[in-house]
Each structure stands twice: as structure tokens, then as C-alpha cells.
Amino acid sequence: MRSRESLLLREIVIFRQNQFRVSEVFIAQQAQALRRYAPLYLGRMRFGHGPDGARALLLRDLWRHAAWPRMLAQMLTRDPAPYLRLLAGRQPALVHAHFGIDGVYAMEVARRLDVPLVTTFHGFDVTLSDRHFLRSPAWVNYPLHRRALARQGQLFLCNSSFLRDQALARGFPAARTRVHYIGVDCSAYQPREPAEETPVILHVARLVELKGTEYLLRAFARMAAGRPGLRLTIIGDGPQRARLEALAGALGVGERVLFLGLRPHEVVMEWMRRAMMLVLPSVLTASGRAEGLGMVMLEAAACGVPVVATRVGGIPEGVAEGRSGLIVPPRDVEALAAAMDILAADPARRTAMGHAGRAFVVERFDLRRQTEILECWYDDLVQAHGGADSSSARAIAHAGSPL
């Protein structure tokens, strides 16, 4: 099993304050695909079970009593001592933070350990305007320490070329900022059989303005009028759910739209295999938020499911336009309805797009190949840094008094 193999691998820290969110399974999928490094998950809280055998060190487990005041204090001060206490006796080779917000916390941990820091940007961390970060105690440190992160981080990875452009515009160094698609496990997601398809349009998203679910509902109401057997399934939750459910009723399609709420990833993939298409109608918000790539589109393509999406952010990088899916302007209900109607009316085209999407993902987004690239970058950083093991031990030994 992985735990026994890990004894022979170099340990690295996968840093995310909120570990194992259902909407962020791609983080653990990448970490578990590592072959030369063993992931150790470090963060503030657990929001899911995580992969089988995953090792996680969390502040919530460290602080059994009066946890919230302590976590709030650490959130505001970025004090690395609690994390160093969790790491006592370990000598990680590097720290890999996911999201720039977490990078400013991981920066202090990596500095004390004297190991390289890798930070991956996924979307809102390089698209949202600073005034929105300053409204939250969990986010306020990011704009305040972003320049320090840009100076101190050894490698910055962006989940699309679009995000790299955004990161460069915010001051991250071009020489150390690279595009790296996390990818999907093409061996785990096999193409579905034609008989598995049902008359269901699938939408998987957090129910916030960014995802454009309102426009999907309006487009569905327009194109489904002449298709009584067609259904729309929405997987995800968020602050807009009640309003969206009311909108579906007002549009006269309430009984044909299934709001499932948050569901485990394996349930999402079961629905994916049954869907005739996946729709991701994301928009650019007034706050500057834009879709970094849209990992769910890659999962759909891996299963042989065609996609309808919008020309926003990094979305076009994840679709072979016209071959694996259709791309329409954002907030354009008529264009979205027309694209959905085209696919709903043409089973042969859906099948052809599904095959093309699978080939596109295997060629450009295979998780194992992308992770091999990542590990080569890890190797270069660790080798260039040198002496990581002994310096890590010294840092942990002087982490400060018990908390």
C-alpha cells in the first residue's frame, strides 16, 4: 500500500488551510499521483475524509480546547509555530501551497524550515480585486503580503495560461511563474458506453454568480419547451441556491430541474456518465473573478461527455472548440440555449464530440504525465536548494514553546 511505499519516498507538505473540500478534489488527486514524493497534508481544518491512507496534520486536531480563538489569532498573525509543532520530527523536502492565499501562510512555514516553496494559483487568488480580500480575516493577509510571496516563493504554478497572465499582472516573476495543468486521471475515468447516456443536462458548480447558473436556467427553459423528456441536474450548493430554485419555478421548469446540493465526487462522476452534456456557463463578475480553467470540463471530456461552456477566463483552454464542445459568449441566454439545443438534437454529434474530448484530454491533460512534469520541477528545486533535511530539523527543534 501507499503507506509502506512512502517510507522510501521524500516527504513533502501539501499546504491548504481548508483540507479535502469536495470542490477541490483535484488537489489530493495530484498529490496522490506523486511517485517519487510522499504527500503530507497540512492545514487548519478538515472538510472531508480525504483519500484512503492520506496523512493530515491539522490545527483543529492540535487545539482540542478553545480552538477558534487560537485559529483566529494564527489567521491574523501568520505565526508558523503551530504548524512547526505539528511537523515536529519530520523533515519535508519542500512545501507546496494551493491558492495564493495559503501561500502567504505557507511562506512562513517554508522559510522557517528552509525548504523551497511552490504555490499553485487556481483562479480567484489572481483574479479577485484586492478590496474583496480585505473584507475577510481569512483573506486579509494575502494582498498585504503578496509582494513578499512573489519575492520569496521559488516556483509559482498557474492552472491555465489565462491565470499566468493574471499572476504576472499582479507582480509575480515571469521566470518563476509557469503554466501547469493539474489534469485528470484518464485511467480512472474511462469513456462511457453510449447506452449509459440519459436525457439529462448536467451542471456541477458552486452556486455563486461566477458560475452563471441563472443563465443556464433561462436557457434551459427556452430550449426544453419542445423536449418534454429532458431534465437538468444541478450538483452543488451556495448562497444563490434558494434564489435559483425560485427562478426555476418562475420559469415553469421547477419540476424538470433537480437541485442535488453538494455530493461526493464519486456521485458526481456517476451523474457525469449519464449526462448527454455538461454545461459550464461561467461569467466574469464585477469583482474581477473569472474561471481559472474548469476542471469539471476535463472530467466530462475524459468520460466522453461533450461540453457547452462560455468564453471566459481559462475555459477555452480546456475545450477543443467545435470538436469536444461548443463555446458561447457569457450571459448570452439565446446563444447558450441554441448550443444546448444543437447537441440535444444530434446524438451522433454528441458521440463524436465525446470521442474527440477524450482524445483531447489524454493528449493535453493526463494527470500522470502532468504530475511527472511537476515532480521533475520538485527535483530541480530540492537539488538546487540543498541541505533541506538538516535545516528542516533545526527549524522544527526551535519552533518555540508548546502551544
**166/170 Cα distance (integer angstroms):** 6
The DSSP code sequence of 62-130 is: H--SSHHHHHHHHHHH---HHHHHHTTT---S-EEEESHHHHHHHHHHHHHHT--EEEEE-SHHHHS-H
Pairing label, strands 177-179, 37-43: unpaired
Contact 376, 57 (CB under 8 A): no
**216/235 Cα distance (integer angstroms):** 13
Contact 160, 314 (CB under 8 A): yes
SS3 for 260?
Answer: strand
Helices (H), 114-224: 124-127, 130-133, 141-152, 161-169, 213-223
Crossing angle of helices 295-302 and 265-274, rounded to 10°:
50
Helices (H), 251-287: 265-274
Domain ranges within the chain, ordered by starting residue? 2-183+366-396, 194-364
Fold for the domain defined by 2-183+366-396:
Rossmann fold (3.40.50)
pLDDT for residue 22: 87
CATH class of 194-364: alpha beta
pLDDT for residue 68: 86
pLDDT for residue 386: 83
10-residue averages of pLDDT along the chain (403 residues): 58 96 93 96 91 92 86 92 95 97 97 97 94 89 96 97 97 98 93 95 97 98 93 97 98 97 94 97 94 95 98 96 97 98 97 97 96 97 74 42 37
Half-sphere exposure at residue 235, Cβ-oriented, CA atoms within 13 angstroms = 21
- Counting DSSP H helices and E strands in the chain, the numbers are 18, 15
pLDDT for residue 263: 94
Topology agreement, domain 2-183+366-396 and domain 194-364: yes
pLDDT for residue 392: 47
